[in-house]
Amino acid sequence: MIVILLGAPGSGKGTQSKALAALYGFSHLSTGDIFRAEIAQKTELGKKASEYVKSGKLVPDAVVTEMVAGKLEPGRRYLLDGFPRNVEQARSLDGLLERSGSSVDRVILLELPQAEALKRLTSRRVCSKCGAVYNTLTRPPKVEGRCDDCEGELAQREDDSEATAKKRWMVFEDLTSPLIAYYKAEGVFARVDASQEPEAVTAALSGLVDGGGAGR
């Protein structure tokens, strides 16, 4: 089964992907997480992606698609988070899946107003040691600046600054939102209100992943 979570930056794709992966045994494939790890390790791929990621622009399609092609194993259940990001990538994904006899089963949009998404992004903090995610407004750590789990230092992602977060939102509007029409046409599209509490969003997503509800 292949499930895609679509949504503007800040809509909770990462958080919800982790929850669904744990509940349903999906492999969680986050292209953003992969790029950040490659950048931190200073690999060739990381060097290619670095400037794009830091400035909130999309990494070129060929680079992303080749990377994803190398990760997808036939027959496994995947939850794709952050890929595809535009229609070109969606077409490439369809081609990749077709070759292994599968297709996209469900595409779910996490809907959130821009102001709320920007608020969430600029107040997000990530543990630099274990990757745990906090929010200074809604989920602060017990000790300011320190991870509850491993005491690692909490930092703001470079692309979560207000200016870059706004740019990422515009990239989403321009390039990623056309995917809604693309997947509606394929009959696999559904949407969920991402302004609810995280647990309520997970419950709504679970209903869609477990069956039913596509096409709206």
For 98, the token pair is 């077709």
**Contact call for residues 164 and 55 (beta carbons, < 8 A):** yes
Whether the Cβ atoms of residue 58 and residue 86 lie closer than 8 Å to each other: yes
Q: Site size for ligand AMP, by CB under 6 A? A: 17
Footprint on residues 38-57 left by ligand AMP (CB under 6 A): 52-53, 56-57
Which residue's CB comes closest to ligand AMP?
Answer: 32
- What is the enclosing helix (H) or strand (E) of 125? strand 124-127
The answer to whether 49 and 38 have CB atoms below 8 angstroms apart is yes
Among 59, 104, 192, 194, binds ligand AMP (CB under 6 A): 59
Round to whole Å and give the CA distance between 203 and 153: 31
Residue whose CB is less far from ligand AMP, 28 or 146: 28
Using the rule CB under 6 A, is 83 a contact of ligand AMP? yes
Options 2, 5, 20, 82; binder of ligand AMP; rule CB under 6 A: 82
Chain Cα centroid distance, residue 88:
17
Active site residue 106: no
Give the whole-angstrom CA distance, residue 177 versus residue 171: 9
Q: Which is nearer to ligand AMP, 24 or 52 (CB)?
A: 52
* Distance of alpha carbon 184 from alpha carbon 176, whole angstroms: 14
Q: Is 112 in the site for ligand AMP (CB under 6 A)?
A: no
Instruction: Please identify, using beta-carbon distances, which residue of 62 and 143 lies nearer to ligand AMP.
Output: 62
Can you give the binding site for ligand AMP, defined by CB under 6 A? 9, 31-32, 35, 52-53, 56-59, 64, 82-83, 85, 89, 159, 168
Residues annotated as catalytic (active site), given as ranges: 13, 85, 124, 157, 168
